[in-house]
Structures are given as structure tokens and as C-alpha cells.
Amino acid sequence: MRIIFLGTPDFAVPILEELAENANQSPHYQVVAVVTAPDKPAGRGQKLTPSPIKETALKYNIPVLQPEKLKSPEFLAELATYQADLQIIVAFRMLPEVVWNMPRMGTFNLHASLLPQYRGAAPINWAIINGEKETGLTTFFLKQAIDTGNIIFQEHEPILPTDNVGELYDRLKYKGAKLVLQTLRAIQAGKYPQTPQDLSKPATPAPKIFRETCEIHWREKTSAQIHNFVRGLAPHPSAWGIIAGKAYKISATDLAYHAMPLPETAADYATDNKSFLSLATADSWINITQIQPEGKKMMPIKAFLAGYKF
């Protein structure tokens, strides 16, 4: 079986490594090419930098394709020369039908949610932001509408009360490597389920995260909602909010002051204690524990307050 792998970020790296390491086990398959994003400028010198998947592919001597446009005749002609039986896509941009329909056995995707929950570009973030207690992974065959194909396998993963998106992301990418290999082996054997997605309830959206998405509206959300919002954006891209007229990134909070009553006026909550910073929310108070002023690094709130005056 000849396989083309499509992916870009480090989430896809353990999956490609798992495929490359197990290719020689019976029944055999071969990853004949990798498709990833073009090199992009990065760092202070804006040096062209390869994607994590390109670096992984080169480590295993797998040919790399980096098209600017997925519908370009040159790319499609080159892709066809690899005569793939199957394509596997993990954390890549949306494919045109001419690409995902090219292999004789089709293209399957690994998505970081329990579809049809959290369809879209940022399923891990939104699951935490919305206070979910569980998420997971789904492999499915691609169809025209995004994230709508028949489910092959699903794997559940609890969301811990202390999880941020970085911690959950890391667990899912390693669990995803095992699920992709399981899916591939089932397809090789010709024995795999194709279960239609359950649409008895509306599918949950998980749209792409933008800077404006990350703003904390302190008095419009409860302390618990803001706590989940910050967890769902930490460590990157980080939630941010306006405090005393300036924008600060916030990467950690706790609910230690959740039970404190709201003051009538600012004067009712004056203190000389510079070990904590609490902000009023829609229902109570939330304690800020890590903060990043513009142009500086993220720091514990006590270190920030030591050199700051409101």
C-alpha cells in the first residue's frame, strides 16, 4: 500500500513518526511522499523555516511536496506520479476534491474531537473554553463538506479540571498516532466500520482562533467561564484582557476568590497586599496568577505587582 501523508504542525509529527517506524511490519505499506506547507519566515532574522512535518519527513528520507496552491496543475501532476493507494491527513488545510479523491482508496483524516462535536479548525481550544469534561479523536473518510465523513474509529480522552490546551494537545497527539495506525491497519485488512455521524443534535462548531477571539470580557462572563477561557487559550495564543486601561496577556487564573462578594465601589476593595490581583467578573471575582505586560515575558502575578502601580 502506497501512502501520502498531509500535515504541517507538530501535532502531526508523532503520527508521521509512528507510520514511518511501523512501515516494515507485516502487512507492509510505504509512505511515498509528504505534503506540507511551504517554508515560512520565522524569528528575528525572518529566516525561512521548514514545518515540523517537513523536518520529520527529511529525517526518514521521505520526499516532500510544498505546494502554494493545492489546485495548481503542476502540483496535481506531481502528486499523481506517486500513485498513492491512500492519503492520510492530520492538521492540514482544507483539501479540494481533486486532491482527496485522487487515491483509489480515498483519504482519511484524524480530527481532534468526537465528531460531530467541534467541527472546525480549533477543536481542542473550544472544548476547554466551553467547559467540556471529555473530548477525543476521530478518524473518518473525507467528503465535500468539512468534517462530515463517515466515522471509522473514535478514541475518548478526559479533560482534567487543571488541563490547559497545551497539556491536552500533547496527550491527544500521541494518542492520535496509535489511532491512525489502527485505522490504517483496518483499511489494509478491508475490515473497518463506516458509521454516519450522529446528527440528532446540532454539530458543535470550533472556528479558527483570532486575536479578537482571545479578548476576556471581565464583566460579561462568570469567573468559571473566564477560567475555562484562559485554560483553552494557554499557553498559546493566550487570552488577553484590559486591566486599568492597558492590554495584558493572561495565561493562568484560579477561582480562589470566587465566593467573595462584589464591592459597591472600588474604594470598598482597597489593599496594600501585593501578592495577588483579583478582578470582578459577572458573578464574583477571579484571581489572576500569570500575566504578561506588552514587550515582556509571562510572569507570576506577585513578580508583576512588585514593580507595578495602579
290 C-beta neighbours (distance < 10 Å), count: 19
Q: Where in the sequence of the chain do the CATH 3.10.25.10 domains occur?
A: 211-306
**Tens of pLDDT, residues 203-212:** 899 999 999 9
Work out the pLDDT band at 95, boundaries 50, 70, 90. Answer: very high
User: How many angstroms separate the Cα of 162 from the Cα of each of 101, 229, 286?
Assistant: 41, 13, 16
- What is the per-residue pLDDT for 144? 75
Q: Would the pLDDT of 22 be above 90?
A: yes
The lowest-confidence range among 18-32, 54-68, 195-209, 228-242 is: 195-209
pLDDT, tens only, 100-129:
999 999 999 999 999 999 999 999 999 999
Q: What is the pLDDT, as a whole number, of residue 128?
A: 98
Lowest mean pLDDT among 1-5, 50-54, 144-148, 256-260: 256-260
Q: Where in the chain is the domain with CATH 3.40.50.170?
A: 2-189
Element (H, E) at 152: strand 151-158
Among 155-164, 192-201, 257-266, top mean pLDDT goes to 155-164
Give pLDDT, residue 67.
97
Question: Helices (H), strands (E): how many in the chain?
Answer: 8, 14
With contact defined as beta carbons under 8 Å apart, do 284 and 255 qualify? no
pLDDT of residue 309: 77
**What does the pLDDT read at residue 266?**
55
Looking from the CA of 282 toward its CB, the CA atoms found within 13 Å total 10
The reported pLDDT for the residue numbered 202 is 86
Question: Residue range 60-89: average pLDDT?
Answer: 98
Q: What's residue 148's pLDDT?
A: 85
Q: In whole angstroms, give the CA distance from residue 286 to residue 128.
A: 18
pLDDT band at 308 (very low <50, low <70, confident <90, very high): confident
Average pLDDT over residues 173-202: 94
Per-residue pLDDT for 166 more than 60? yes
pLDDT computed for residue 256 by the predictor: 61
Predicted confidence band of residue 168 (pLDDT cuts 50, 70, 90): very high
218 pLDDT exceeds 90? yes
- pLDDT exceeding 90 applies to what percent of the chain? 80
**pLDDT band per the 50, 70, 90 thresholds, residue 259:** low
Residue 257 has pLDDT above 90, yes or no: no
* pLDDT tens figures, 1-15: 999 999 999 999 999
Separation CA 260–CA 268 (nearest Å): 12
Average of per-residue pLDDT across 54-59: 98
Integer Cα distance of 108 and 141 in angstroms: 4
pLDDT at position 42: 85
Q: Which of 290, 172, 134, 296 is nearest to 227 (CA)?
A: 290
Name the CATH code of domain 211-306 (choices 3.40.50.1220, 3.20.20.70, 3.10.25.10, 3.30.9.10): 3.10.25.10
On the question of pLDDT at 263 being above 70, the answer is: no
**CATH T-level assignment (fold) for domain 2-189:** Rossmann fold (3.40.50)
In total, the chain counts a number of residues equal to 310
